[in-house]
Structure 1
Amino acid sequence: MNSSYSHKTIQPDISLSICGYSKVLEIVSNKWTALVVYAMEDGVIRYGEIRRRIEGISKKMLTQTLRQLERNGLVKRVITPSVPPIVEYSLTGLGESLLEPMRTLNQWTKENYSLVEQARENYDRDNSGE
């Protein structure tokens, strides 16, 4: 038995409402968010080019994702008056600072996702009779 265990009521020390980490995960954990950020990692890009680069993203989802990123200070939108207007997007400094942790997670995925898949297969096989 753990000697530090106490019979007192333990207060939660992890909270979705006040934990900054969980709030940031809420922003960046959407699959489209990560892909849109990656699409902008080389600099200024137009809406149509982002859409062409990301397989399977709808216009509605791309628009919602860009608005969310802009609202959270990760993306800058510039409209150049013309007919039709030219709309360009780029990462802000804050958005660019997100690239390194995303690259680290991407590298972890490349190195470990096959192990995750194997664990799932093992779990499903071992628990198929429950």
Structure 2
Amino acid sequence: MEVSRSKKGIFISQRKFVLGILKDGGCLGAKPVNFPMEQNVKFSDEGDLLKDPSSYRRLVGGLIYLTVTHPDITYSVHILSRFMHAPRKPHMEAAMRILRYLKNNPGQGLFFSSQNDLSLRAFCDSD
């Protein structure tokens, strides 16, 4: 984790880790996407099993670690983590899409303002 402190507040990111996971996944030259997962995708235990499930498990494990500073991928990673025992080709394709989403802004992180009233505010788009 990278932590930057200034008079405005504290910024926490995992830029170096994101770039490393993009390199390991071979996505440094891939076209970025705007959303981590396609809408209305249904995953199941159908499709071809991956020949090497350890690469999927390593990738999803890294994505789980990234959810600390990237809460926007939490739901997508949660869905993919349910298939760690027997990952299939569609699951790996969805994990690669998350990487392409992260490529859009690898330096994204959390900012904690020093001028904060410490009240919790959240937004949820249920559509």
TM-score (norm 2): 0.31
Higher helix share: 1
TM-score (norm 1): 0.31
Larger radius of gyration: 1
